[in-house]
Structure 1
Amino acid sequence: MELAGSLSFLLLFLLLLLLLLLMGKGRQGGHPLPPGPPALPLLGNLLQLSPTRTLEGLLKLRENYGPMFTVWQWLSEKYGPVFTVWLGTRRVLVLCGHAAVREALVDNAEAFAGRGRLPTLESTFHGHGVVFANGERWRQLRRFSLSVLRDFGMGRKSIESRIQEEAQALLKELRDTREKPFDPTYLLSCAVSNIICSIVFGNRFDYRDSEFLELLRLMNESFREISTPWAQVYDMAETLMQHMPGPHRRIPVMLGRMRSFIARRVRDNAASLQPGAPRDFIDCFLQHMEKEKSNPSSEFTLENLELTTLNLFFAGTETVSSTLRYGFLMLMKHPHVQEKVHEEIDRVIGRDRAPALEDRGRMPYTDAVIHEIQRCSDLIPLNVPHCVTRDIVFRGYFIPKDTDVYPLLSSVLHDPSVFKHPNAFDPTNFLDESGRFKRNDAFVPFSSGKRLCLGEGLARMELFLFLCTILQNLRLQPLQPPEQLSLEPLVFGFTKIPPFYQLRMVPR
């Protein structure tokens, strides 16, 4: 018994010593590591951070977007905007506020350009695909993806026409609800997804296509599942849970089914490929694979093709459709804002033609409303994790290479030093005293720096054209008094998912 007790004490001592060595590792030139709370062996700061509410630990937002005092806010106030926490045995650098995040991602862009770990998704991506790749693989895939997206019209008149056509198809579906209550989730997902589908697959889908609807269901469910409490626990305590069964096992299954759909499309494209006449992103990638087949260092592989396509399809659908769902809720909760958008649309566009991108410059209020919807939606509040690509001294602290980084986008989008009304839905956050649109460097829903979202330009076009087309023709009518509408997210973790709700679309 005494021997067992001594061995247990010795093991605990060695684990504590190992953790202390890890925490002290990397001190260089007299520069300390960023401060942070004391950590326990193996567990790190998991007990202090409440893994089931990861985001709320960093910056929980109430329904009115006001800050709530939590452990993570207390950490930020105690240790400053740059501090360290330990997720199990994994060191994580946390950045809070506009100044710290911008200094890292923009002023030190190369050093903070690495992709950090997201354990719930690693069994699917294994560092492949443009979003989760690093190093030379990431550089090759990003450069190629941007080039192809531009070739297929991103930021050009051709993609604008495609969005306008899809907006009219969506408008028809909304009118067909005949003022009856309905949930807009899948109609918005269909419309938005069809834009990215036309680029990556070369065609759009009918809104009642069963395979398409199943794909969207898998996407919606996996987007929610990533932010469930169990998934948050797994992301924070992977070393303790990696061999345990549980709900986190559902995520790779759903993503795997989506990948299987993409793999079938790749095989179909390969069988009918016409050299020199690419029909879509998949064709372009296949042609580049053939071109580089003798290059041993090429990253143009079948795995990167399937997973990059999955990245584009997923990101190109879920973020914009979720923003529109939040936007509908916010406009119903603030009917005076909806009315002012109606007035500006009538004055600038009228009722006899479809909205066009060239209208945006003459519609400062509508532009400000869309920006405010994105700011308050705050869909990826933790940001996709980054990591530092080399040892760096940042704000007087030494950050060792490969340290994971959480640049908290939520703390930037609600930073009181740069937004006059950070905790309320208020379009004047993006308007000057004369009512002109005012840009703000802290508007970072697409992140910033070298990992800026590939589809930012496309998403901005979609949000403007879809929203203006709908509000030009229809009025969003809630099923209850506006003050009773809840903006409380369905799940609140790595992502912030809008609640399910119903509304009526009333002709204007």
Structure 2
Amino acid sequence: MAIVESLLQFPSTGTLLGALLLLLVLYLLSSQSKSQKERKEPPGPKPLPLVGNLLTLDLTRPFDTFFELSKNYGNIFQVFLGPKKTVVLVGYKTIKEALVNYAEEFGDREIAPSFRITNGKNGIIFSNGENWKEMRRFALSNLRDFGMGKRGSEEKIIEEIQYLKGEFDKFEGKAFDTTQPVNYAVSNIISSIVYGSRFKYTDPEFTQMVDRANENLRAGGSTSVMLCNIFPWLGLFLKNKKNVLNNILQNRQQMMKLINALQETLNPHDSRGFVDSFLIRKQNDEKSGKKDSYFHQDNLMLSVSNLFVAGTDTTGTTLRWGLMLMAKYPHIQDRVQEEIDRVIGGRQPVVEDRKKLPYTDAVIHETQRLANIVPMNLPHVTSCDVTFNGYFIKKGTTIVPLLTSVLKDPSEWEKPNSFYPEHFLDEKGQFVKRDAFMPFSAGRRVCVGESLARMELFLFFTSLLQCYRFTTPPGVSGDELDLKGVVGLTLNPSPHKLCAIRRS
């Protein structure tokens, strides 16, 4: 009887199991709630099925929309470009913390379908992992060996400036488009480092190669290519994509021809440029039987292409912005030329003059800031799960470090949307560095050729302003030179012509 009473008091097996299941469910719900709290995702506008937030974006200038969205959602927010989640980082402090303090987590490159087709996993710009590390390390080492940031490059630039002046003089003060002569001149600097020699501006193979690369950069940032990257099946219908691929094919054929010519005259003991150094390293790896070497034909082609395109467009575009801004703001051009005349006179400007020309240096920096030529940066992707500033971001998420929000951060710049060289001058008129000056990006993916670009911009700009007065064509007001720019992979000045009038 006592046993029976004990059994009656003890819960049945079914009741016990039910209680255990209830406790388990409560535990799981509690854990999930805690997990969700710990893994809070960035806020953002509610996406629609399939199209995501595309209908709320200005696809011709998405960086402007992102900047506006940050006013509602903060410095870290997410949008859906079609079905793909993208996290946008806004403002100097946020982007610096991500790219510098979380360099590993945010350091990989997003490789969109259009770039995956043309690059695979090779080269410098659109690669990741060990391949990227090896190619970037080799590129930096060789660019330094062949004069990047040194006197060797200075001499090359000064020589090229004379050729560019000759092109400007052909117009005899009449209005012309600066795009091609400036791009050819700047391209010759990186060509002399990569191939070991410059090209004549009359060489059709050289000029076509530069023109095709610039056309691709404009098309690569177009709305149609952006949509093609979001919905790859659209590529079947886009003429734009076919033109891009055709340009790439033609340029690679031309580069292969140049590389083969260097291969035929290669001297392992006398490297003429980057290509020679790569070929020598490739031969050495083959002779030693090294397996899985990164020094192969595809990496050579893509690395040369990356250096050629990036070394031409970014500097050439910034220089053209600078000349246009001088025509738009003649009072600033007056001050630049007064300083150059007073400090340098008629001799050739050299890099050492930079510290003696604070106003001119400030104008160059302000041009880079306002021109804002890579407003969205090139997208990154998270290499692992990361919790950043309280938000959980999953591995493989596309990251847009919005560089325009750094260069025009209202908390960092007194007049973020105006051309104001005083941003880089102290009360005594001396040049001051600004932490939020980040046109070359930051962290692991900072521009490989930054020191070369800085040297080029200073020498080209100073030498041209020393010799020429840049004005709008007769009957055209400076107000008609707009600062909106034309969007591609880089932000180019709107089409315009200038007069380069020789100064007496």
Q: TM-score, normalised by structure 1?
A: 0.89
| 2:456 alignment counterpart | 462
Tell me how far apart the structure 2 counterparts of residues 267 and 112 of structure 1 sit (CA, whole Å). 38
Deviation at 1:171? 1.5
Match status 1:37 vs 2:45: yes
| 1:51 alignment counterpart | 59
Residues 226 and 495 of structure 1 are in contact (CA less than 8 Å); yes or no, is this contact kept in structure 2?
A: no
Residues 490 and 497 of structure 1 are in contact (CA less than 8 Å); yes or no, is this contact kept in structure 2?
A: yes
Cα deviations by residue, 1:437-486 (Å, 9 ceiling, x for unpaired): 11111111111111000010000000100111111111112114544332
- After superposition, the Cα gap between the structure-2 partners of 1:249 and 1:275, relative to the gap in structure 1 and judged at 3 Å, is same
| 2:190 alignment counterpart | 196
Tell me how far apart the structure 2 counterparts of residues 492 and 181 of structure 1 sit (CA, whole Å). 24
Tell me how far apart the structure 2 counterparts of residues 96 and 334 of structure 1 sit (CA, whole Å). 30
Match status 1:254 vs 2:262: no
Tell me how far apart the structure 2 counterparts of residues 420 and 51 of structure 1 sit (CA, whole Å). 29
| 1:324 alignment counterpart | 319
Task: Give the partner amino acid of 2:188.
Answer: N
- After superposition, the Cα gap between the structure-2 partners of 1:490 and 1:411, relative to the gap in structure 1 and judged at 3 Å, is closer
| 1:496 alignment counterpart | 491
Among all aligned residue pairs of Structure 1 and Structure 2, give the percentage whose two residues are the same amino acid.
42
Tell me how far apart the structure 2 counterparts of residues 275 and 303 of structure 1 sit (CA, whole Å). 21
Match status 1:268 vs 2:266: no
Cα deviations by residue, 1:248-269 (Å, 9 ceiling, x for unpaired): 3322221221111111112222
Residues 55 and 493 of structure 1 are in contact (CA less than 8 Å); yes or no, is this contact kept in structure 2?
A: no
- After superposition, the Cα gap between the structure-2 partners of 1:29 and 1:263, relative to the gap in structure 1 and judged at 3 Å, is farther
- After superposition, the Cα gap between the structure-2 partners of 1:51 and 1:500, relative to the gap in structure 1 and judged at 3 Å, is closer
Provide the alpha-carbon RMSD of the alignment.
Answer: 1.7
Matches within 5 A, 1:314-463: 314-351=309-346, 353-463=347-457
| 1:211 alignment counterpart | 205
Cα deviations by residue, 1:51-93 (Å, 9 ceiling, x for unpaired): 344233224xxxxxxxxxxxxx1x2122111011111222211
Q: Give the secondary structure class of the aligned counterpart of 1:260.
A: helix
- After superposition, the Cα gap between the structure-2 partners of 1:427 and 1:490, relative to the gap in structure 1 and judged at 3 Å, is closer
Residues 94 and 407 of structure 1 are in contact (CA less than 8 Å); yes or no, is this contact kept in structure 2?
A: yes
Tell me how far apart the structure 1 counterparts of residues 129 and 36 of structure 2 sit (CA, whole Å). 25
Residues 66 and 88 of structure 2 are in contact (CA less than 8 Å); yes or no, is this contact kept in structure 1?
A: no
Deviation at 1:182? 1.4
Paired positions, count? 467
Tell me how far apart the structure 1 counterparts of residues 147 and 197 of structure 2 sit (CA, whole Å). 14
Tell me how far apart the structure 1 counterparts of residues 422 and 353 of structure 2 sit (CA, whole Å). 20
Matches within 5 A, 1:163-242: 163-235=157-229, 237-239=230-232, 241-242=234-235
Aligned partner (choices 298, 307, 313) of residue 312 of structure 1: 307
Deviation at 1:488? 4.3
Residues 106 and 380 of structure 2 are in contact (CA less than 8 Å); yes or no, is this contact kept in structure 1?
A: yes
| 1:303 alignment counterpart | 298
Consecutive unaligned residues in structure 1, runs of 5 or more: 1-23, 60-72
Residues 99 and 442 of structure 2 are in contact (CA less than 8 Å); yes or no, is this contact kept in structure 1?
A: yes
Deviation at 1:29? 7.3
Consecutive unaligned residues in structure 2, runs of 5 or more: 1-31
Deviates most, 150-159 or 85-94 = 85-94
Residues 205 and 254 of structure 2 are in contact (CA less than 8 Å); yes or no, is this contact kept in structure 1?
A: no
Tell me how far apart the structure 2 counterparts of residues 432 and 338 of structure 1 sit (CA, whole Å). 20
Tell me how far apart the structure 1 counterparts of residues 182 and 457 of structure 2 sit (CA, whole Å). 11
Q: Give the secondary structure class of the aligned counterpart of 1:292.
A: helix
Residues 117 and 404 of structure 1 are in contact (CA less than 8 Å); yes or no, is this contact kept in structure 2?
A: no
| 1:15 alignment counterpart | none
Deviation at 1:34? 1.2
Deviates most, 79-88 or 310-319 = 79-88
Deviation at 1:414? 0.3
Cα deviations by residue, 1:372-429 (Å, 9 ceiling, x for unpaired): 1111111110100111112111001111112111000011100011111111001001
Task: Give the partner amino acid of 2:47.
Answer: A
Q: TM-score, normalised by structure 2?
A: 0.89
